[in-house]
């Protein structure tokens, strides 16, 4: 795959495999040819959810058929609530009933939930078959479709059951943004802001000038921002595929964010929860002297400019309890990601008591939600 006037190709090298991400407008019609080129096989199972399949399923399946695949669908109910053991089991049985072989492929068509669940199905079925990620949400394009993390939720916490399973290709068509409700698109901006704080001062400045959800950015600008986010994640994943060190920095905002998400029973969007966690950690870090007050304020201001929540009134004991069940915990300690300045972060290993202190310092100033 090479760059074209309406698409950019980004290579993602990891220790387990190297694959390409295609980013552009009006490129869903390329899914079949890209899948054929990168995966081969005879059958393609398109795994999607009930909101996305009616929008894009036919175009993607037609593209796969034109590329010579026998195409079969597998659709589950939309929403984070479906990201569970029941859905996983049903999808595995469906794929088995379709008699996919190790040479065949799963095509994950949808947002982050679809990518996570379909990716885990691919990782588990026959001990691993190929998967092509076709993200249709901003959040999935800039984050979950790249890097090979697959997972489902269980009552004890988010993403606690999963596997690292890299896709064979990622195809991100920003034309899909046209069918995303403004509220959902806004929610996804939380991860874009996180990436800017993590590693890209220029992206941060771009977002300060024109919020991503303002409606003022054209297709080329949107595609460039998505591509910049993918490159940020690419650089981290290439250096640390299995989250033993550097990749943990991608969890910026997630320790408190995931706790808030669980406390809301996943009824508040992931990007919104990350925004809350990001601002909370920034405020606490400023009070601890780990970053300047100006840095913390700039982060909060950018979150607010995107109409995202920046604090929570959830009881601190509840946040602490959920946070200590997070998969980032190691024994009696937990690794947190601390912003030091815009575009730079550091990892700190802290105790549960220190975590509670940060929650007290960063959360509950009476702001929303």
Per-residue pLDDT tens listing for the chain (369 residues):
544 556 899 999 988 899 999 999 999 999 999 999 999 999 999 999 999 999 999 999 999 999 999 999 999 999 989 999 999 999 999 999 999 999 999 999 999 999 999 999 999 999 999 999 999 999 999 999 999 999 999 887 788 899 999 999 999 999 999 999 999 999 999 999 999 999 999 999 999 999 999 999 999 999 999 999 999 999 888 887 776 677 788 899 999 999 999 899 888 999 999 999 999 999 999 999 999 999 999 999 999 999 999 999 999 999 999 998 765 555 678 999 999 999 999 999 999 999 999 999 999 874 555
Distances (CA, A) of 38 to 34, 103, 174, 350: 6, 12, 21, 43
pLDDT confidence of residue 245: 73
Whether 270 is a known active-site residue: answer yes
8 Å CB contact between 144 and 116: yes
Please give the model's pTM, rounded to 2 decimal places: 0.89
Whether 328 is a known active-site residue: answer no
* Residue of 49, 80, 241, 243 marked active site: 243
In the CATH hierarchy, which fold is given to the domain comprising 182-362?
Answer: Dehydroquinate synthase-like, alpha domain (1.20.1090)
Distance CA 295, CA 46 (A): 44
* Residue of 270, 300, 306, 320 marked active site: 270
**Residues of CATH 1.20.1090.10 domain(s) within the chain?**
182-362
8 Å CB contact between 98 and 125: no
**Residues of CATH 3.40.50.1970 domain(s) within the chain?**
7-179
* Residue of 191, 261, 300, 320 marked active site: 191
pLDDT confidence of residue 330: 59
* Residue of 22, 83, 130, 149 marked active site: 149
Q: Which residues contact 366 (CB under 8 A, 6 or more apart)?
A: 311, 313
**What tokens appear for 132 in the block?**
């092509």
Whether 194 is a known active-site residue: answer no
* Residue of 258, 261, 283, 306 marked active site: 258
* Residue of 43, 49, 251, 261 marked active site: 251
Whether 247 is a known active-site residue: answer yes
* Residue of 233, 234, 283, 306 marked active site: 233
Whether 149 is a known active-site residue: answer yes
Give the end-to-end CA distance of the chain in Å, rounded to a whole number. Answer: 44
Distance CA 255, CA 281 (A): 9
* DSSP code of residue 4: B
Whether 127 is a known active-site residue: answer yes
Q: Which residues contact 232 (CB under 8 A, 6 or more apart)?
A: 195, 198, 199, 200, 203
User: In the chain, what are the helix, strand and coil shares in percent, each to the nearest 5?
Assistant: 50, 20, 30
- Its CATH architecture, for the domain 7-179, is 3-Layer(aba) Sandwich (3.40)
Whether 241 is a known active-site residue: answer no
Whether 6 is a known active-site residue: answer no
* Residue of 36, 254, 283, 306 marked active site: 254
């Amino acid at each position: 795959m090479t760059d074209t006037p309406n698409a950019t190709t980004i290579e993602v090298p990891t220790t387990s495999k190297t694959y390409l991400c295609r980013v552009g407008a009006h490129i869903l019609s390329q899914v079949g040819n890209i899948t054929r080129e990168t995966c081969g096989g005879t059958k393609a199972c398109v795994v999607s959810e009930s909101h996305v399949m009616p929008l894009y399923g036919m175009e993607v399946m037609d593209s796969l058929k034109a590329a010579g695949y026998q195409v079969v669908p597998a659709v589950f109910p939309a929403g984070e609530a479906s990201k569970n053991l029941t859905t996983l089991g049903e999808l595995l049985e469906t794929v088995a009933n379709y008699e996919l072989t190790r040479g065949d492929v799963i095509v994950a068509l949808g947002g982050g939930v679809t990518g996570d669940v379909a990716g885990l199905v691919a990782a588990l079925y026959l001990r691993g078959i190929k998967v092509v990620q076709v993200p249709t949400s901003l959040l999935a394009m800039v984050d979950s479709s790249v890097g090979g993390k697959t997972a489902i939720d269980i009552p004890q916490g988010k993403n606690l059951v999963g596997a690292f399973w890299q896709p064979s290709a990622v195809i991100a068509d920003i034309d899909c943004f046209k069918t995303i409700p403004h509220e959902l698109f806004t929610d996804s901006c939380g991860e874009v802001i996180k990436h800017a704080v993590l590693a890209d001062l220029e992206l941060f400045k771009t977002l300060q000038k024109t919020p991503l959800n303002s409606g003022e950015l054209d297709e080329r600008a949107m595609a460039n921002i998505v591509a910049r986010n993918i490159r940020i994640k690419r650089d981290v994943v290439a250096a640390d595929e299995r989250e033993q060190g550097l990749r943990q920095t991608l969890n910026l905002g997630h320790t408190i964010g995931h706790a808030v998400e669980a406390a809301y029973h996943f009824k508040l969007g992931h990007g919104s929860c990350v925004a809350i966690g990001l601002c909370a950690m920034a405020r606490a870090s400023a009070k601890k002297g780990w970053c300047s007050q100006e840095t913390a304020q700039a982060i909060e201001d950018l979150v607010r400019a995107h109409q995202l929540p920046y604090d929570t009134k959830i009881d601190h004991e509840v946040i602490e309890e959920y946070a200590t069940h997070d998969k980032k915990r190691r024994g009696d300690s937990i690794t947190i990601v601390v912003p030091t300045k815009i575009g730079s972060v550091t990892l700190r290993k802290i105790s549960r008591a220190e975590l509670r202190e940060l929650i007290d310092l960063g959360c509950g100033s009476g702001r929303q939600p």
